[in-house]
Amino acid sequence: MSDFVQQAVQLAPSAMPSWLTDHAKSSRDFWSKSTLPTRKTEAWKYTRLRPLETGNYLNAAKPATADASLIQPSLIDGLNVHRLVFIDGQFQQALSDSDMPEGAELVRFADANERQVDSINQHLGSLFDRENHLFSALNDAWLKDGLFLRFKKNTRVEQPVQVISLTTSQEQAFSIAQRLLVLVEEQAEATVIEHFASTNEEQNSFTNSVTELVLEADAKLHHYRLHLEEEQSIHIGGVHAGLGRSAQLNSFQIALGSKLKRLDVVINHQGEGAHCELNGVYLPQREQHVDFHTCIEHAVPNCTTNEVFRGIVSDSAQAVFNGRIHIHPGAQKTSAMLSNKNLLTSNKAEVDTKPELEIYADDVQCAHGATVAQIDEQLLYYFLSRGISRQEAEVMLSFGFINELLNQVHHQEIGDYLRPLLAKRFAADPKMTRHIT
């Protein structure tokens, strides 16, 4: 057992709500008997945990300052949201909106009443198994608080809920655990934006995040997960969703690279007629690393999935994408499509992509594919022949590779917010941003 595993157990909180005690203890016991995955572990073959093990991250964060200027870059122009703010893992009441939109209910685990506790206990940890998601077990072991967000039956909540999780740079490296449980009841519709960000200075934080999305029958959820942290941060996170009968999940994920970034997305089709749209973009550069592992579990008949991920890998960066679609026995009439396309803009850039289909039913429509390419020289010549510099042409072609997915987001204000951020990332010369914003 590694030193990291032993020390991580010691970071577990000493105080927590009494009803969470057994849940947290069970996870601590499981974690303490586990070993960290290595390059010989298939699911971690291309992602090394050495930056986490050697970084002395197992310290508690110091109290955060509720400074409104810190979250200013995370505000999305033109989008009226209900905002919830965490800084270094600590909930900031002064920076958060107090009144929830009509049809929505929010409570911190520590403040939950008896009815809310019953609902949390029913769903907490029900969508993942510890054996395959070891760091979700660590999140459980560290669990002393979290957010329970409930959208009530037969309501359409127009105002999105934005959860901002911001990290700062502290004197010593530190770890935080973020937990979000979302329940969308029958025939409800809502939007949730998870926004992970950081201050501009070099970071020394490790974020372990788990999000659980429970969609009951005929529920609909627009879900966004924006990973826009500074490149020295470490983030290992998971999104686990359960879809009831005829439920619809539209999820968009974007991740800039960092020292270590590993994101697991698992969608469980649990009721007939459920549908999932899962789109994602990853953009590592320099010596950054980003790893997306997605798994779509089709356990019942007549469900559909459309999954599209695109990556642009620059400089000496590495990206990993593993997308798995699992069709269980009896899941007839399933339609599931998976596409992963990658653009390498450097001879030193690397992408390891592995789309998978595992099918145990005979009446299905399934397809998967992956491509890895460089910028098309003919397209590049077309731009050059019209007086556009090579650097500008490469920026425009790279941005066009992902712009299609940005155009498909349900809330266009989010696409408008992301474009200038990505423009600065693509264009070393700020003047070039006029071509892609």
pLDDT digits (tens, 9 = 90+) for 44-54: 999 999 999 99
Position with higher pLDDT, 240 vs 65: 240
pLDDT score of 346: 87
Distance between CA 262 and CA 266 in Å, rounded? 13
Model confidence at 362, pLDDT cuts 50, 70, 90, reads very high
pLDDT score of 382: 61
Model confidence at 381, pLDDT cuts 50, 70, 90, reads low
Least confident of 27-41, 366-380, 401-415: 366-380
Tens digits of per-residue pLDDT, 112-140? 999 999 999 999 999 999 989 999 999 99
DSSP 8-state class, residue 130: T
Model confidence at 429, pLDDT cuts 50, 70, 90, reads very low
Mean pLDDT of 77-96: 94
Distance between CA 84 and CA 397 in Å, rounded? 36
Angle in degrees, 0-180, between the axes of helices 21-32 and 134-141, rounded to the nearest 10: 130
- SS3 string of 260-284? EEEEEEEEEECCCCCEEEEEEEEEC
Q: E strands within 82-219?
A: 82-87, 90-91, 104-108, 147-151, 161-167, 174-184, 189-198, 205-215
pTM of the entire structure?
0.94
pLDDT score of 182: 98
At residue 1, does pLDDT exceed 50? no
